[in-house]
Each structure stands twice: as C-alpha cells, then as structure tokens.
Amino acid sequence: MFQFIIEQGRISILYGQRVGVGYFLTVIDTRLQVDLYVTNPGFNTVCQAVAPFGNGAYMILYTWESSTHGTKVDLETMVKFWRLYGAEPRHVERLEEGEDLEGSVENHDSTHT
C-alpha cells in the first residue's frame, strides 16, 4: 500500500494505491467525526449524514471493482480529483499512466505499509 497525506488544518486528504481498492482519494474533516459524548443526538445525525462511517470521511473515491466503501470512479475522474485536492504532480503522472506508485515513494510525505 502506498498512501500520501496532505494536512490542511482539520482536513486530511489521503490518496494513493491499495490492494482491494486500487487508486483512492479520501477527504476527512475531523469536525465531522461522531462525538460519542455529545448530549445533542442531532449533532451525530448530521455528521453521519455527511460522513456515513462516523470518522469524518465525507468523500471516498476508489478505482477497484470490488471495493464496497465509497464511490467507484474511472481513472480519468480520479486524475481530476487528485489534481483538485493537491496530489503531487509526479503521483498524478503515474496515475495517468496506470503505473504503480511504488517508484514515486522517495520522500517523507508518504506512508508505506
């Protein structure tokens, strides 16, 4: 798995390539995480309406056929979203070619597991 993270305050943008998901992009806003201690149940209702998994992830895109979480998109659509959300140009180039991201992991901005 190759995952890159862009932090923008309370918003995290995760993108990369994962077995069983293909290429992916996930946008998480921690303000939308379900609050287990909230006394107003309306808060959690709204959070789950926007981010159904309760973790603040309001956009989950993937390219693999068998993934069940989020929205399946084609490669061209994923390229557009990677660009919109600030993926590194070298990663976008590899995505456009349908190449593994393995060759683009040589700096500290990534996690590899």
Q: How far is CA 43 from the centre of its chain?
A: 24
Q: What is the mean pLDDT of residues 52-81?
A: 90
User: Which pTM value belongs to this model?
Assistant: 0.82
pLDDT of 59 higher than 90: yes
Instruction: Give the C-alpha separation, 3 to 62, whole Å.
Output: 13
Range of the domain at 31: 2-112
The residue to which tokens 């070298």 are assigned = 90
Counted domains in the chain: 1
Q: Binning pLDDT at 50, 70 and 90, where does residue 48 land?
A: very high
